[in-house]
Every structure is written in C-alpha cells, then in structure tokens.
A and B are shown apart, each in its own frame.
Chain A
Amino acid sequence: MPLNRKIAYIDLTTGDIQVKPIPMEIRKKFLGGRGLDAYLLYNNTKQGCDPIGPDNALMVSGGILTATCAYATARTHVMAKSPLTGLLGSCNMGGFFAPEMAWAGFHHLVIKGKADHPVYLYIHNGEIEIRDARGMWGMPSTDAQWAIRDDLGDQEVKSMVCGQAGENLVAWACVMTGIKNSGGRSGMGCVMGSKNLKAVACRGTMDIKLAHPVEALEFNKRYIEQITSAKVNQTQGTLGTPFIWGATNSWGGIRCRNFQYNQCEYADDMEPERIDEICEETMGPYHMAGCFGCQVHCRAQHRIPEGPYKGIYEEGPEYTSQGAFGGETDTPRALTVLVGNHLVDQYGMDNLETGSIIAWAMELYEKGIITNKETEGLDLSFGNDDAVIEMIKRICFRKGWLGDTLAKGGIPASKIIGKDSFKYLIQVKGMSNLHSDERATPALALNIATGSRGSDHLRSRPAIDLYHLPQDVMRRIYSNPVPYDGPLSSEHTEYIGKPWQVFWHENCYMAVDCFGICKYHTTFLGATCPNFDDWPKVLYYNTGIEMTPREIWDVAERCNNMERLFNIREGLKRDDPEKGDVLNPRYHEEPTRRGAPDVVGRVIEKDKFLEMRAELYKHKGCDEFGVPTQETLKRLGIENEPSHIL
C-alpha cells in the first residue's frame, strides 16, 4: 500500500544509510511530499547551516498519492536550505521520477553530508546503493541520465540529476529529470553539486496495493473528465503553457526590459500559435507529451528549427522560457527562446532566474552601472539575442567576471557590482520574480511578496482572480472548507478580499504538493478543477486514510507554518528588502506604461499593500511581524518543533 513506502536517511560523508517506516501519526499531520519535507528540513538542519556545506539536508520526495490511481501524481518535490536565498529552498517537477521511486519502495529521502568524489544513488526495490559517478561528472543533464542507464544496464531507470550548473555551484542550478522536467527554483541542483551528488536513480517493480481499487479507478476517470473539461486545460493540451504567456502579454502582465515595460511588443514570432507551428512542422500533428498518468499533456515537443542547434530534440518551451529569454530581455524571437530553453535544460539551471538575472544585467548595462569593461566587450543591450545566449553559457561555466559574479545570485552580485544595482534587481527574498508583472494585480503582487520560497507564482497565486468570476462562484470556492464571509472582489485591480484568496490558494497548493498532484489539476488555472471537497475521496480510495476537507486544510496550514518557521529561523524579517515580505519599491513607484485600459498607469499602492499584508498575516495566524503566534502553533500541533520524531 502507498503508506508502507519508506523514508531513507543517507549520509554521503560516511556512506551510512538508514531506512525507516513513516509513522501514521506523521502521515496524518503532514501527509507527504512538500509538507513532510518541510517538517524534515526543520528537523534535520541547524540554524544558520551553510546551504552548500555538508550539514545542509536535501529532501527528495513523492507525495502520499504518488503512483497511485489518483490523477496525475507525477510530481517530485525537492527541498533544502536554498543557496540562492539562504531561506527555504523548494522545487517541484513533473515527469516520471517520483512514481518510479515509489515503486522502488520509497516516498522520502533525506540526504546529508558530502561524498569525497562524485557519486549517484541507485534505489532499487527497497535497496539503496551509493555508486561512482566520476565518469558522469561534467555531463549535461540528459547525457548523465542515459549514462546511468548504460551503467546499470537498464533502460527503464528514471533519474533526477544536476547538470553542469549544479556542479559549478551556480546558486540557482536546478534538478532535472527527462528532457525538460525541472525542479527549477531556489537552487536545489546547486545543493546536489555541493554534495558531489550527480544523480538519484530509481527503478522499481514493487506493488502499491490500493485500499479501494474499484472506486479509485472510477474516481480517477471522473476527475479526469472534470479536469479535461476545463477549457484552460484543453488549451494547455494543444498549445502548452505558451498560451498563458500569450494571453498575459496581450493585456499587459508580462515583464519586458527587466521591469521597464509590462508588455512585450512585436512578439508575433513567439506567440503560442507560432510556437505550436514550429512544433507541428518539426514533430508532426501529435506533438504534445504528458507526465505520469496525466491527460492534460501540456508538454510540447519540437526540434530546434534552424541555426547552430538545428534538429536537436527538445521539449517545451514553457511560458517561463518565453518570459525569460523573450520578454524580459526584449528578444521576442522563437529561436532565442528555443535555444535558451535548450541550454538551461542541458546545463540544469532555472530558466526564470537565468532570464531575470540577464535582464537585470542588461538594465545595469543600459544605465551604465556595468560597462563593456565588466562584460568583456559583450554588447549587453536589450534586444541582443546573441548576448542572451552567450550570457547563459557564461553563467553556467562561470566564465569571465560577469558570468562568475551573476552566478552567485542576484543579491550577492548586487553587493559586488555596487552602485544602484540592487534598486534594479526585481526579487523577493533573493529570488528573482518570474516573468510576470503584477503592478495591475494586487492579489498576485501579495502572492509573490509573501511566497515561502521567495518570489514565486506556484505557492499562493490566485490566478483565477484574472477571470472576473461572478461573486457567487467566488463565494463558493473561497468559503470552503473554512467559512469566509468577508469581502471578495471579482475585479483584478482591487485590493479588497485578496488576502483571503492568497491564503486560500496557499493552503490549496500546499495540499496538492503534499499529495504529489500537479497544480493544473486543482483550482490554479481552472476554476472548476477539484479541490478540498474532492480530495477526501481520492485519499480514502487510494490509501484508506479518512480525512475531512477541513482536516486536509489543517494539514496544509500546518505545513505552511513549518515553512514559515524555517524561514524565520533562518532570518526572514518582515520589512527586510533582502529577506522580507516586500516588493521591489519600483512596484510602488513606477506606473505601468503599456497594456489594457484598466492595466496601464498602475502601481501597487504601498499603503494598501501593507494593509493587505497585515490582513494576510491575521488569516495565517501570525502576529503583526508575520511570525506565527504560539496559539496558532498550538492549534496546529507544532508548538514543540523540532520534535525529531522522524
């Protein structure tokens, strides 16, 4: 059964491996995946530990429903202290890795220490082996995965790896599985590189016995129909996530020229339809792929159509690559996006952070804060496609002064560059904002300012706020499973009611991350997708655990508070421009210059933003400084953490 999957503690310094069951008491409190990882991180690291030192703990996990007959349970979660932010590091990826790890007998790994030479872990039907990876060190992400298969003589092995960026300790290096599935944000690949851990490889053929298989199968079918009936998911399944970029850019919600504009003009060459054309021309009419068990199949397939990388097979690009290598740098050309996307996949570095940092450097170049001297002659002007590609390479291999400096991450780089450079760095808690511009959408701005891993859309973004849903629909969504009778506004430029929406989505997304389900299968982009009311059935039929919607909400709240406790322990302060719940002042000072009539000329009004933040803290059970109160911790049963039960 899913509940007999184990946890393994692996010490790479000593080679010691301990395997333990996961007690039911812990399961009911944290379920699994990201939630249980948050507990494990808090319990297995000491305050102030060096993110790239042996004491940092790297958690790798699947959710409690991973590989069961729930729907789309493909997600792998990775957590550690972040080398980029010094706070919570956390990333989540699709593909086939976590299910394979579950069939190999494990739901959670806690990896500590540092191997004295490059190694990889091989997890096979309950056994864990530390194997030599010296021959794979220096390999890009896909080569490393195929080399592991050859080493083990098994083409069915699934691996998560770090690329060269992780080996070179680029602060935002990511973990990769398959061609393009990336645990992108917050530098978990860098933590792998720091531990001399090239990969974790899994192969499993162990049964996962379902509690109520007949019902599990029927409800899987029912939920698939619910999920794929959402128009947004049908569109994802034909155009992939580029359609989100196109839709957002059309009204003015996309960062352009770092943060100078909120819409990318002349972007015809990278509109979703154009990207789709390239996919069709190079891969034929059926060019969408899916992660494990998913019928949304939002992953496009293509071959790079021209240029020096012509003919190479790739997947994506996701909207993040469009934003990173097309919009922010003002190089709205398909080829630049596709090549940039290919390089970061191969090197194993976060596309969002890479594009944002390059766009930041471009603005510094434009302002004269860095010059041809620092760029070593590279013309780092906005719109220079070649410069974008060149900078990706320089950062990965830490080539030249600028490449090496930027690879340390935005805030450390701003301290080295000095002058006014920090002012132009669009970040929260040291992590660059994604490619979207939230100046016209207060709810989304509050989300990035307070996200647990730094500026991020996947922790609490009320994306459906953009749909102008009727009041009764909003009321139905947001009054469940916890009653809410406060104000709600259907208007996306409004401030009222937004803190509750952010709080609700924060718990909703934590819950799916605990289950191991993809966010496209809950109330993220599709307002009609399953959430709290539907999950008890999925959980019961697959695992036998009985929980009410309210109990699942409580788990999510508990896990979010564990993350918050970690961040506070590691130095989060409410108004700290480097580690706080704040926006770059440009959000409050520079009005948007482009976009739809209700979007142009907008700033996030500072006083209203602070009111929203204070209200969010109240919903979350925090004091005025954003610290969870003792009462809240007691209510959630985590007042004695770290408890070291697991």
Chain B
Amino acid sequence: MAPKALYIDYQKCTGCRLCELVCAVKHYGISNPARSRIKVMKWEMEGLYVPMSCQQCQDAPCLNVCPVKAISRDEELGRVMVDYDVCIGCRSCVAVCPFGAMSFNVTDKQVFKCDLCDGEPQCVRFCDRKAVDFVYPDEVSIDKKRVAAERLSKAGKEASALMSEI
C-alpha cells in the first residue's frame, strides 16, 4: 500500500500553532517556531490561517536542483529526505521550493524540512481539529467528493424549496 501523506485542510485550522511548537520540541528538544518544519501562515484581519509544510512532491524541485544529490526520495515512508553528510548548505533547494517548505536554520546553518517524524507526525498527533491529518493520498479526494456532494444536494433542496414558493 502507498504510504500515508500529510493532508492539510486549512479551513479547520484554529491558528493555535501547537503544531509548530511540538515539531521543534520533537526534533530539537527546543521551543522555537523558527525551527519548525510546519508553519501557520496568517491573515489575522480575515481570520484565515493556513498551515504550510512539505508536500513530499513526486517530482520534487528540491531533489532535482540539488547539485550534490543530497536529497532523495524515501519510497517506504513517502518522504523526501536530506542527507546532511552530503549536503553542502548551498540553499538551492530553499530557493526552488514552490511552497517555502524547505527552510534554513541560521543557528545550525542547515536546511531542514518535514520528515513526517518517521511515520508518526507530531503535528497530526497534537491537532485535535485534524486540520493537519495523516491519510492515504487516495482517500483525500473521496472525502472531498462526499463534502462537495453534500453541499450540492443541500443547495439543490434549497433551490427546489424556492421553486415551490413561486
């Protein structure tokens, strides 16, 4: 079976940033959102919070751009990994990532990205709303279909109610 993937449903996000905290604590034993691999982007005046993390792309730009081939795909866990013994810290991957998911830590002078906590992502474990979830990728669209179908049928009922009033 294909490995699970992070699925972010930003509408469910409460903006609490617990995911950022536990990510840094899990990986470094340190509280510091600057070290988190997941980051909640906010538009406070809209009440809009969007968690951003690595999409573990199939055709990963970071992997493709790396001049020393330090980045590889781990098919078993469905993730893109950095080999720090090979990495030269050129930050090309940071520049090329379309999601801003590859970050650079100025203290350790290293790039870093989501490693799915080796299959037990802490951001998912701590998010009670499951705005960040860990699911089989092929299940995402069937769930979305169900929600959209509900919306359609509700709209249809409202429309027929309107028709009957005429």
Chain A residues at the B interface, C-beta cutoff of 8 Å: 67-69, 96, 103, 142, 146, 178-179, 205-210, 213-214, 216-217, 220-221, 224, 228, 283-295, 297, 301, 313, 315
Interface residues of B in 8-54 (CB under 8 A from A): 11-18, 21-22, 25-26, 28-35, 44-47, 49
**Contact (Cβ within 8 A) B16 A209:** no
**Contact (Cβ within 8 A) A293 B18:** yes
**Contact (Cβ within 8 A) A216 B34:** no
Residue of A nearest to B11 (CB): A286
**Contact (Cβ within 8 A) B25 A301:** no
Residue in B17, B35, B126 whose beta carbon sits within 8 Å of that of A207 in the complex: B35
In the assembled complex, how far is the CB of residue B16 from the closest CB belonging to chain A, in whole angstroms? Answer: 3
Residue of B nearest to A102 (CB): B31
| Chain A CB within 8 A of B157 CB | no
Known: A69-B22, A207-B28, A213-B25. 5 other contacts (CB 8 A): A213-B28, A286-B12, A289-B47, A292-B18, A313-B45
| Chain A CB within 8 A of B154 CB | no
**Contact (Cβ within 8 A) A295 B29:** no
| Chain A CB within 8 A of B122 CB | yes
Residue of B nearest to A293 (CB): B18
Residues of B within 8 A of A103 (CB): 31-34
Residues of B within 8 A of A214 (CB): 29
Interface residues of B in 124-162 (CB under 8 A from A): 125-126, 128-129
Chain B residues at the A interface, C-beta cutoff of 8 Å: 11-18, 21-22, 25-26, 28-35, 44-47, 49, 106-107, 122, 125-126, 128-129
Residues of A within 8 A of B33 (CB): 103, 205
In the assembled complex, how far is the CB of residue B124 from the closest CB belonging to chain A, in whole angstroms? Answer: 12
**Contact (Cβ within 8 A) A179 B31:** no
CA distance A160 to B29 in the complex (A): 29
In the assembled complex, how far is the CB of residue B75 from the closest CB belonging to chain A, in whole angstroms? Answer: 29
Residues of A within 8 A of B45 (CB): 142, 146, 179, 313
Residue in A96, A179, A209 whose beta carbon sits within 8 Å of that of B30 in the complex: A209
Residues of A within 8 A of B128 (CB): 224, 228, 295
Residues of B within 8 A of A293 (CB): 16-18, 21
Residue in B18, B28, B49 whose beta carbon sits within 8 Å of that of A289 in the complex: B49
CA distance A225 to B99 in the complex (A): 32
Residues of B within 8 A of A179 (CB): 44-45, 47
**Contact (Cβ within 8 A) B18 A295:** yes
In the assembled complex, how far is the CB of residue B131 from the closest CB belonging to chain A, in whole angstroms? Answer: 8
Residues of A within 8 A of B35 (CB): 207
**A208-B32 contact given A179-B44, A289-B47, CB 8 Å threshold:** yes
**Contact (Cβ within 8 A) B47 A68:** no
Chain B CB within 10 Å — which of A179, A213, A216, A288 has the most? Answer: A213
Residue of B nearest to A69 (CB): B25
CA distance A219 to B53 in the complex (A): 25
**Contact (Cβ within 8 A) A217 B46:** no
**Contact (Cβ within 8 A) A221 B107:** no
CA distance A221 to B26 in the complex (A): 13
Residues of B within 8 A of A284 (CB): 11
In the assembled complex, how far is the CB of residue A310 from the closest CB belonging to chain B, in whole angstroms? Answer: 16
Chain A CB within 10 Å — which of B14, B29, B126 has the most? Answer: B14
In the assembled complex, how far is the CB of residue A639 from the closest CB belonging to chain B, in whole angstroms? Answer: 37
Residue in B25, B30, B47 whose beta carbon sits within 8 Å of that of A313 in the complex: B47
CA distance A216 to B25 in the complex (A): 9
In the assembled complex, how far is the CB of residue B65 from the closest CB belonging to chain A, in whole angstroms? Answer: 26
Residue of A nearest to B122 (CB): A217
Residue of B nearest to A288 (CB): B14
Chain A CB within 10 Å — which of B45, B49, B122 has the most? Answer: B45
CA distance A294 to B26 in the complex (A): 18
